[in-house]
Amino acid sequence: MNLESIPLQAFLIVSSALFCIGIWGLLNSRNAVRVLMSIELMLNAVNINLMAFSSYIDNNLIQGQVFTIFVITVAAAEAAVGLAILLSLYRNRVTVDMESFNLLKW
Amino acid sequence: MSIAITTQFICFTVLSLVVIIGALGVVLLESIVYSAFLLGGVFMSVAGLYLLLNASFVAAAQVLVYVGAVNVLIIFAIMLVNKKEDLKPINDIKSRRVISTLICLTLLSLLVRVDLTNVWSLSSPQNSIGEESTIRIGEHLFSDYLLPFEVASVLLLMAMIGAIVLARRDVMSKDISTGLPVDQELIEKSSEPLLTNKN
């Protein structure tokens, strides 16, 4: 194999796999904390994608890195609010089982 | 990046394996505490991938924000809600697993196919600014991305206040009807679940 650098596709495949693992965890977890962890995994997959494109396609203006900074900011805010909602849910229902949060189900 | 291409390949392979296996551990392991610590490992490896992409500032931000803040927050949340409970069994759990796994595998194959078949218009490595990306990010943040940068600070303030309001305990210092000071511990113990179970 004679390559000058790691191909872009390798990064894209890693991020696709990470995203799909995140979706699987989101759909199958019964613990609400694990659902939040899966969302963080998916956000990280998106960040890897943005960084890879910024490095391989836009390597002079690197706008993808700026977007990654903003995504990290929003992810931190999301985690704080999500865990606060989780704590107040736990206080009201005394469980973290996703199957028991069915008040909005018709 | 100045390190040799073989070293880059070895680093990339190791980091990708840690990311994928760690993520599988996060969603598959039985113990939620192990999942949380593996999640920290995944975040660190993603920061390593950013270093391979010549982005030292974003790698540092990733370590500071994700490992330092988000992961610690998740571990605190696990500590606060850690109660052994027997989950109610679901009747159609198996078909649900099968369907969701099929959906994920289909999506993965679709994404990998797009990654491999699309012709990406790569720019030449000569234009790369390499190690000066931190300077360029600073220029972006204070010129063409100034408005999103300022809005992000407002968003963080809103998230902070919202998290405080949501997670605060509503403890009354005196009884509403009699006006006497109340035993705080008794309120905590006697509080009923507010929402009734629908089943």
Question: For B5-30, what is each residue's pLDDT tens digit?
Answer: 899 999 999 999 999 999 999 999 99
CA distance A48 to A6: 14
Distance CA B199, CA B194 (A): 15
**In angstroms, rounded to a whole number, what is the distance separating the alpha carbons of residues B67 and B40?**
6
Q: Using CA atoms, how far apart are residues A44 and A14, in angstroms rounded to an integer?
A: 11
Predicted local distance difference test score (pLDDT) of residue B110: 96
- Predicted confidence band of residue B193 (pLDDT cuts 50, 70, 90): low
Helices (H), A29-62: 32-56
Give the model confidence (pLDDT) of A62-97 as tens digits: 899 999 999 999 999 999 999 999 988 888 878 888
What are the tens digits of pLDDT across the range B125-159? 777 777 788 999 999 999 999 999 999 999 999 99
pLDDT digits (tens, 9 = 90+) for B98-114: 999 999 999 999 999 99
Query: Cβ–Cβ contacts within 10 Å for residue B49, how many?
Result: 26
Chain B residues close to A25, C-beta within 8 Å: 26-27
* Contact: A57, B120; criterion CB under 8 Å: yes
Query: Could you say which of 1.10.3720.10, 2.40.30.20, 1.10.287.3510, 2.40.110.10 is the CATH number of the domain covering A8-94?
Result: 1.10.287.3510
Instruction: Say which DSSP state B199 is in.
Output: -
Q: What is the ipTM of this complex?
A: 0.93
**Global pTM value:** 0.87
Cβ proximity of A56 and B123 under 8 Å: yes
Number of Cβ within 10 Å of residue B120's Cβ equals 14
Q: Do A74 and B58 touch (CB under 8 A)?
A: no
Which residues in chain A are closer than 8 Å to B78, comparing Cβ atoms? Answer: 33
For residue A24, pLDDT over 50 is answered with yes
**Domain parsing of chain A, residue ranges:** 8-94
User: A-chain residues within 8 Å CB-CB of B42?
Assistant: 41, 44
In chain A, which residue's Cα lies nearest the Cα of B159? A77
User: A97 φ, ψ to 5°?
Assistant: -75, 125
